[in-house]
Amino acid sequence: MKRSPSSLLLALAFLAGSVLGGCATTPAQAPDSARVRVDWTDPQRFADVRENPAPSPARKNPEEWLQPLARWLQYRADQVLPAGDQLKVTFTDIKRAGAYEPWRGPQWMDVRIVKDIYPPRIDLRFTLTDASGKTLDQGERKLTDLAFLSRGTINNDDPLRYEKRMLDDWLRKEFATKSMR
């Protein structure tokens, strides 16, 4: 039986996807970490919701993008923190990369325009404790990435890619040296 090249390519792609998909643990698959807790204040007061004039799902239900962002931070922080340390993070304000430009017309009301003049910003509070509960570090941070479009991203299809990268940068800067103690 002769097989067409396209059916062989399809079979190889399926096999590669099955093998690679089974090897990677993604944040969506990661279990809740007892070491890292992420929550947020009132999302209706976040700049991203307040400044969105459109009655979009992101404005009506900001948890749709807050939960994946929190899971990402939880997953990545769990990889960075030394064994026994615990981290609690509270998002106090978020302005995602891009903005809505209602003057473009009603057909553009739900389209986020990403330009360098609309950088991402995340304000947060955190507390780092050791295994005995002793506070090692705490504070408030205002994260922003003014060069967010100049840097590459791993997943160009992820609508939260700029915010996730900014959180990764913060974790690396804030906790990488602490993990060497």
- pLDDT number for residue 24: 34
**What proportion of the chain, given as a percentage, has pLDDT over 90?**
53
pLDDT digits (tens, 9 = 90+) for 32-61: 558 999 999 999 999 988 887 666 656 678
Please tell me the number of Cα atoms within 13 Å of 7 on its side-chain side.
4
State yes or no: pLDDT of 140 exceeds 70.
Answer: yes
State yes or no: pLDDT of 179 exceeds 60.
Answer: no
Cα separation, 172 vs 165, whole angstroms: 10
Cα separation, 32 vs 78, whole angstroms: 10
Cα separation, 66 vs 13, whole angstroms: 33
Instruction: Work out the mean pLDDT of the chain and round it to a whole number.
Output: 80
pLDDT digits (tens, 9 = 90+) for 119-135: 999 999 999 999 999 99
In this prediction, residues 140-160 reach a mean pLDDT of: 91
CB neighbours of 116 closer than 8 A, spacing ≥ 6? 146, 148, 149, 150
